[in-house]
Amino acid sequence: MSAKRPSLLAQNVRRAFEAGVRTAGGSDAGTPFNHHENYADEVVLMTMLLGISPQRALHAATAVSAELTGLHRGILQPGEPADFLLLDSDIDRDVNALTRPTAIFKAGTAV
């Protein structure tokens, strides 16, 4: 594989995003060697490849991903499951805060 290939891939992904292609996060989490706790890396990668804010990347990795797969998830509002993380800092200042949540809630209950 050419050393230029990764940068060409990044350029094409960014061009598609800038042209309005809906972009979502994805992973193979749950399969061998692909752990759910590593999903934050997907958000970091999206900030680097697309040049978008961590907040926007997190939205793409949650709400947009859910919408594109036909699920009604990734939002906090009355009547919804209330799955969320509490972080020790603002992800727009420190995107790696996603890798060290202080609390995790599933359906409104701390896990």
Instruction: Specify the number of domains making up the chain.
Output: 1
pLDDT at 56 over 50: yes
- When pLDDT is cut at 50, 70 and 90, the band that residue 1 belongs to is very low
Please tell me the distance from the alpha carbon of residue 100 to that of residue 103, in angstroms, as a whole number. Answer: 9
What is each CA distance from 67 to 29, 70, 74, 96, in whole angstroms?
Answer: 18, 5, 8, 25
Please tell me the distance from the alpha carbon of residue 25 to that of residue 35, in angstroms, as a whole number. Answer: 15
Domain of 66 in residue numbering reads as 4-110
Average pLDDT, the chain: 83
pLDDT at 27 over 50: yes
What would the pLDDT profile of 59-85 be if each residue is shown by its tens digit? Answer: 888 888 888 888 877 677 788 788 888
